[in-house]
Amino acid sequence: MKASILRTTLILVFTLVGLAGWALHDVPTAAAYAPECPGVIDGTDAYHHVPLEYATIQAAINAASPGDTVCVDDNAATYNENLTISTANITLLGAPGSDTVRGPGANAPVISPAAGRALQINANADGVTVRGFRISGGTSGIWGLGPLSDVVIRNNEVRNVDGPGIGLTSDVAGDVVNDNVIILNLVHNNDAQGIYIATSSGSCPTGDGSDTPLRNNIVANNDLYANICTTGCNSYSFNLQINCADGPNLIIDNDIRDITESGTDDFEAGVYLFNTTNNTFTCNAFTNNTGVGGDVWPVFAMVLWHPGTAPGPNNNLAYNSFTGNEVAYNQFTNNTIAENNWWGVSPPVTIGPNRIEGGVDYNPWLTAASQVNNGCQPPTLAKAFNPPNINVGDTAQLTFQITNNYAAASLSGIAFTDQLPGGGGITYTGVISNTCGGTLDTTGNGNTLLTFSGGSIAGLAGSTCTIVVRVQGNADGTYDNVTSNLFSYNSTGTSSSGADTLIVGPLGDDDDDDDDDDTGDDDTGGDVVVTDPGLSKTGVLGPGQLGLPGEQVTWTITATNPTGATLTNVVITDTFTPALSIDSVTTSAGSATINGQTVTVTIPALGAGQAATIQVVTTVEGSGGEFANTATLTADGGYSRTATATVNTISSLPATGYPPDEE
């Protein structure tokens, strides 16, 4: 018997969103733009190239519409511009760098104004991305003015600025600064805060649940060091300062280091929190934030100042490392949950170097620095084709499963890509399911590229989401498929990628006698099984029967659902030859009807892991021979499966030379 096996494949593709912006003084005849900057350089597309189309970065920004990208050639040129972005949803892209290395790529363009802000993102310019620049000089580096949401600042280096390096702020009470991401930046040696996130003091949390000034922001995988005030900044030196944040906000996987004293009456800290509640700090390394003596204040790795009139801080510190600091943590008022951290020594100390001060709940603590890794494992990506071997024209299901392994952080901004090998030998044909959210596309590169971005997993360690797609076999071959490294806003530096192999080609014989000769079990109706969903069929004569007229053949059809999700509107149809009369049909799920020679079984829903068994009893009416019968299954989501069974019967008894017995 022969079987047509259909399979479904899922492919995810990760699209990186970047920003570009370069300005050249001498316009070259050719330029090297990032791969994220395609497009014909003719002024008509959504990509605005500096310098080939615009002499300055600001001119290209002014020409951009929402959804456009300003692409600056990565020639390491210096642009003495003060840039302003007022248009929402545009990308400014220089040398984009990578998903795993902090800072921009090689030959990144430099923005270096003589004074003022190097780059200002104005209020309501939501969805702006700035990526791949070196910024120095001026009174601040990259500065966003609220209300502001969905801004991404990534893979930049901000250094030697006469003020804060990166800021997202609002001076108006009630303005929100929400859902922004600062990731993979190098921020160092600035004359104030490295990163400053704040809203107006009039929007500071009151504890009544009505405050939404600064929430759902992510500061991830940045290297923040030596941002030390020397002049004009009230003698405050902080690598990271957050004011009036009524979270949740997530600060994860940052290096926060090398803050030292800048005077005798100053205040220095790796992280300074003011009136900041409901935030999570996890997997950060606080290192060498220490003084040299003689100062009124010690140097803090992390300090929280929370006036007694404000609500309790409710901040959570977990799986951070504090090493070589003068004061590891200080809580001036109220309590902080700070369990499962490494405090540089076990047990932690409240006197001496790396000490804990104030109302801090730090028990239990980690007893070794290596234990931080227990709560800071990056997410993983696994993939599998099902079935792993199909015929040309059939489909397989490709499943991607993403697992969050962080003990104290959910995942957002999940992204990856999956390029099918073989130049079209296998292609994507559709999406079956997606529990990861985000944006999924399987039509790139002639339906061979899957791109996924913006996914999320709300749960902590052990929580998963899945994407399932269909892949069709178009040419015989063995296709080794490897997914790109997994990326998320919450966790970078992971090398996790999925890999599996799909074989397209003959599946061999359908019987159990291993001879590939269409004999043996094939002649008696051996099973044909297909999966995702599965459909199998057998045809069996009664004991001792030969298939003569009046004898019965019983056909058994089994539909299975191994997809991991409920199948809906499952319909199985089977049309029988007129040489067989249909006596009865029974089904373990749904309902069955007989219309002439066609049996139809309708199952509204077939749950994950469930099976339905259908039995059709027929009677041989005419002469015998080979009865080949095919059942077809369809279901929502574009599923289609077939299974065939064959029964050989004899057309008459052999001649003996004797008349039949008298009745």
User: pLDDT at residue 15 above 50?
Assistant: no
Tally of domains within the chain:
3
User: pLDDT at residue 521 above 50?
Assistant: no
CATH of the domain at 610: 2.60.40.1530
78, 136 contact by CB (below 8 A): no
DSSP calls for 523-536: GGT--EEETTTEEE
Specify the pLDDT at position 480: 95
Higher pLDDT, 25 or 624: 624
Specify the pLDDT at position 7: 30
Co-location of 306 and 454 in the same domain: no
Co-location of 83 and 191 in the same domain: yes
* Residue 663 confidence class, pLDDT cut points 50, 70, 90: very low
The residue count for the chain:
663
Q: Name the range with the highest mean pLDDT among 156-170, 201-215, 239-253, 259-273.
A: 156-170
CATH of the domain at 452: 2.60.40.680
Judge whether 521 lies within some domain.
Answer: no
Other beta carbons within 10 Å of 418: 31
pTM of the model: 0.74
Percent share of the chain, pLDDT over 90: 49
Co-location of 535 and 449 in the same domain: no
Co-location of 82 and 207 in the same domain: yes
Co-location of 81 and 200 in the same domain: yes
Specify the pLDDT at position 464: 94
In 256-402, which residue ranges form alpha helices assigned H by DSSP? none
Co-location of 538 and 478 in the same domain: no
Between β-strands 528-530 and 534-541, what pairing exists: parallel, antiparallel or unpaired?
antiparallel
Co-location of 432 and 284 in the same domain: no
User: pLDDT at residue 368 above 80?
Assistant: yes
Return d(Cα 375, Cα 369) in angstroms, integer. Answer: 12
Window from 297-306, 372-381, 443-452, 486-495 with minimum mean pLDDT: 486-495
Judge whether 220 lies within some domain.
Answer: yes
Judge whether 516 lies within some domain.
Answer: no
Which residue has tokens 């990032």?
A: 34
Q: Strands, DSSP E only, in 306-435?
A: 316-318, 321-323, 327-337, 355-361, 380-386, 389-390, 395-403, 411-419, 426-434
Helix (H, G, I), strand (E, B), or coil: what is residue 421? Answer: coil
Between β-strands 181-183 and 157-159, what pairing exists: parallel, antiparallel or unpaired?
unpaired
Judge whether 446 lies within some domain.
Answer: yes
Q: Name the range with the highest mean pLDDT among 2-16, 112-126, 296-310, 522-536.
A: 112-126
Co-location of 423 and 491 in the same domain: yes
What domain range is 395 assigned to?
375-505
* Residue 531 confidence class, pLDDT cut points 50, 70, 90: very low
Return d(Cα 325, Cα 277) in angstroms, integer. Answer: 24
Judge whether 53 lies within some domain.
Answer: no
Co-location of 535 and 501 in the same domain: no
Average pLDDT over residues 606-631: 82
Over residues 427-447, the pLDDT tens digits come to 999 999 999 999 999 999 999
Percent share of the chain, pLDDT over 70: 79
CATH of the domain at 87: 2.160.20
Over residues 250-284, the pLDDT tens digits come to 999 999 999 887 665 567 889 998 888 888 999 99
Specify the pLDDT at position 479: 96
* Residue 11 confidence class, pLDDT cut points 50, 70, 90: very low
Specify the pLDDT at position 322: 95
Return d(Cα 8, Cα 4) in angstroms, integer. Answer: 13
Over residues 62-103, the pLDDT tens digits come to 999 999 999 999 888 999 999 999 999 999 999 999 988 999
Specify the pLDDT at position 22: 32
* Residue 176 confidence class, pLDDT cut points 50, 70, 90: confident
Co-location of 145 and 269 in the same domain: yes
Specify the pLDDT at position 331: 74
Average pLDDT over residues 636-663: 60
Judge whether 50 lies within some domain.
Answer: no
Judge whether 512 lies within some domain.
Answer: no
User: pLDDT at residue 369 above 70?
Assistant: yes
Residue 249, both tokens: 């906000």
* DSSP 8-state secondary structure symbol assigned to residue 641: E
* Residue 292 confidence class, pLDDT cut points 50, 70, 90: low
Over residues 45-64, the pLDDT tens digits come to 899 999 999 999 999 999 99
Provide φ and ψ at 63, rounded to 5°.
Answer: -85, -10
User: pLDDT at residue 613 above 70?
Assistant: yes
Return d(Cα 652, Cα 624) in angstroms, integer. Answer: 7
Co-location of 390 and 437 in the same domain: yes
Residue 386, both tokens: 């099902």
113, 81 contact by CB (below 8 A): yes
Co-location of 241 and 296 in the same domain: yes
Judge whether 87 lies within some domain.
Answer: yes
Which residue has tokens 């890509």?
A: 417
User: pLDDT at residue 310 above 60?
Assistant: no
74, 105 contact by CB (below 8 A): yes
